[in-house]
Amino acid sequence: MIGIGLVDDHLLFREGIKAIFQDEKHMGILLEASNGSEFLEALQSSVLKPEVVLLDIRMPIMDGYETAKIVLEKYPDMKIIVLTMHEEERHIIKMIELGVNGYLMKNASPEEVIDSIRCVMEYDYYFNNKITNIMRKVMMYKGKRTTNHITFDLSERETEILALICKEYTAKEIGEKLFISYRTVEGHRKKLLAKLNVRNTAGLVVLAIKNEIVKI
């Protein structure tokens, strides 16, 4: 059972999201809150912690940016999917650079909301084509504006695995494709996280796009 946290200041929207999960046997809302401060308080007092958080950006008292930053620091294994009406590039890039696992618009279908949760649990990130294209455009532009050329000391195998991660292969699928074990793939992924100094798989994808380490 995937426990979900829901943080949004609109009660009617929260009720609509909760209705999506009524017929889902393998996931459901565990905690809900109207702002980040309320959610963090609920987390502290709750024995069971959600595995995935659906988080809005604009909220009173504590917004999504501050909430994401604190959650990722205190609960690094918790995955965050931004669910918002803001599709401006600055919001998307700022949230991704903070280390969230996904970004979704509020006009997404119920099926995509459910799929995004499954994806972050399996692949560690979810960005649809629209968000990926924005990421690519902005990150490549920012990269061209940077005067310092950054090089990454990646082995051929690490580069190969990074490319497959960016193409949304699971660790199991990468292992089967490269004829190596799941544990070996996970070992390489952890080394990539350390070498590239990023928080999660989403960070690997962002860095790969920004610096054109692999062709996506």
User: What are the boundaries of each domain within the chain?
Assistant: 2-128, 138-211
Residue 187 has pLDDT above 90, yes or no: yes
Residue 147 has pLDDT above 50, yes or no: no
Calculate mean pLDDT across residues 25-31: 95
**All residues at 6 or more sequence positions from 63 whose CB lies less than 8 Å from its CB, including other chains:** 35, 36, 57
The kind and range of the H/E element at 93 are: helix 89-98
Residue 149 has pLDDT above 70, yes or no: no
Which residue in this structure is represented by tokens 């426990």?
A: 3
Confidence of residue 141 (pLDDT cuts 50, 70, 90): low
pTM: 0.82
* Dihedral sign from CA coordinates of 199, 102, 93, 36: negative
Closest CA to 32 of 106, 85, 41: 41
Distances (CA, A) of 181 to 159, 175, 187, 188: 17, 5, 10, 11
d(CA 14, CA 74): 24
Confidence of residue 181 (pLDDT cuts 50, 70, 90): very high
Span 89-140, pLDDT tens digits: 889 988 988 999 999 999 999 999 999 999 999 989 898 888 888 777 776 6
The confidence score (pLDDT) of residue 202 equals: 83
The kind and range of the H/E element at 6 are: strand 2-7
Domain made up of 2-128: CATH architecture: 3-Layer(aba) Sandwich (3.40)
- Provide the CATH topology of domain 138-211: Arc Repressor Mutant, subunit A (1.10.10)
Quick check: do 2-128 and 138-211 share a fold?
A: no
